[in-house]
Amino acid sequence: MTFALAFLALFIEALVGYSDALVARIGHPVTWIGALISRAEQVWNEGHLSPARARLRGILALATVLLVVVSIVLLIDVAIDLTLPLVAALILKAALASTLLAGRSLDEHVSDVAVALEERGLAAGRQAVSRIVGRDPASLDEAGVARAAIESLAENFSDGVVAPVFWLIVGGLPGCAAYKAANTADSMIGHKSERFFAFGWAAARFDDLINLPASRLTAIWIALAARVTQGADWRSAVHSALSDAPRHRSPNAGWPEAAMAGALGLALAGPRSYGGKTIDDAWMGSGRRDATAADIHRALRLYRIAYLIQAAVIGLLAIVAFLLW
């Protein structure tokens, strides 16, 4: 059942996505979850707390957010099952789950960076890439903008598509929502600023944990896509993922980034600037660093094929599960 649910969610999200008009009218599930996280942080993260107490408060805040989100979605899930026929319930759940995936919007935002670089130059490229990365755009040259866009594509393929689909298969609609809540909490309070260093510890560590399987799976999808994509090198994708990913400062981001770097013959990650501070991260891949807008288009093609491969594998598993049911 959940394999079919995941396949339909991928199909719906790729076909229609979540329109800007709908965001303007009712918001987005991620913004609703974000509002809950923000409120929890305001209540629990009082000033002048000791690190130990702030860490405990952060654990309680994360648990509260997860409990609220899962409870609401579980009630919706059960109500759908009780009121609709099986096929109709499956389609409605898939439509709801598709709102928690970010494949189409990721494609659009990364494509915008390539078009901006090609048609309007470096300043426009910096502005476009600033919408999808947290690093200082003013510090980036054209190659830096292109690399940042490709890194964001690879990492967010894992966080925004593969991981929520994985947890959708494992835990149904509530599992997918729980993942999205935890991932959103990490993006909001998990970074190591003075305000969130202790309070956001639980969000950051929990997000690392739940992304472990999807990050490795994403590297596999990218390597498989490289196997059938002209001009991509699947062997190098596998080699880079296995050799370089463990050296990344993140336990998860290095896997899709290294696989993408190897497949395209690039070097990604490396030293980067955030808030005026340089992060001396390892390079993923041993290829060239002078990436261009053309490389962004190559990465997008690889990403789209990887998306289709993932959907095809899940679709086959859904058929097998149906036949065995």
Half-sphere exposure of 84 (CA within 13 A, CB side): 14
Are 149 and 135 spatial neighbours (Cβ–Cβ below 8 Å)?
no
The pLDDT tens digits of the residues spanning 151-194 come to 999 999 999 999 999 999 999 999 999 999 999 999 998 876 66
The pLDDT score that the predictor gives to residue 194 is: 67
The pLDDT score that the predictor gives to residue 47 is: 72
**pTM higher than 0.85, yes or no?**
yes
Q: Which tokens in the block code for residue 71?
A: 């409870």
Report CA-CA distances (Å) from 36 to 130, 175, 190, 209, 296. 25, 18, 15, 22, 35
Q: Which residues of the chain have a pLDDT value below 70?
A: 192-194, 273, 275-276
Instruction: Report which of 297, 202, 214, 299 is spatially closest to residue 252, judged by C-alpha positions.
Output: 214
The pLDDT score that the predictor gives to residue 82 is: 97
Give domain limits for the chain: 2-324
The pLDDT score that the predictor gives to residue 192 is: 65
Q: Which tokens in the block code for residue 247?
A: 């050296």
Are 170 and 2 spatial neighbours (Cβ–Cβ below 8 Å)?
yes
Tell me the three state secondary structure of residue 84. coil
Amino acid (1-letter code) at residue 199:
F
Burial classification of residue 218, based on how many CB atoms lie within 10 Å of its CB (0-12 exposed, 13-18 middle, 19 or more buried): buried
Are 153 and 114 spatial neighbours (Cβ–Cβ below 8 Å)?
no
Amino acid (1-letter code) at residue 325:
W
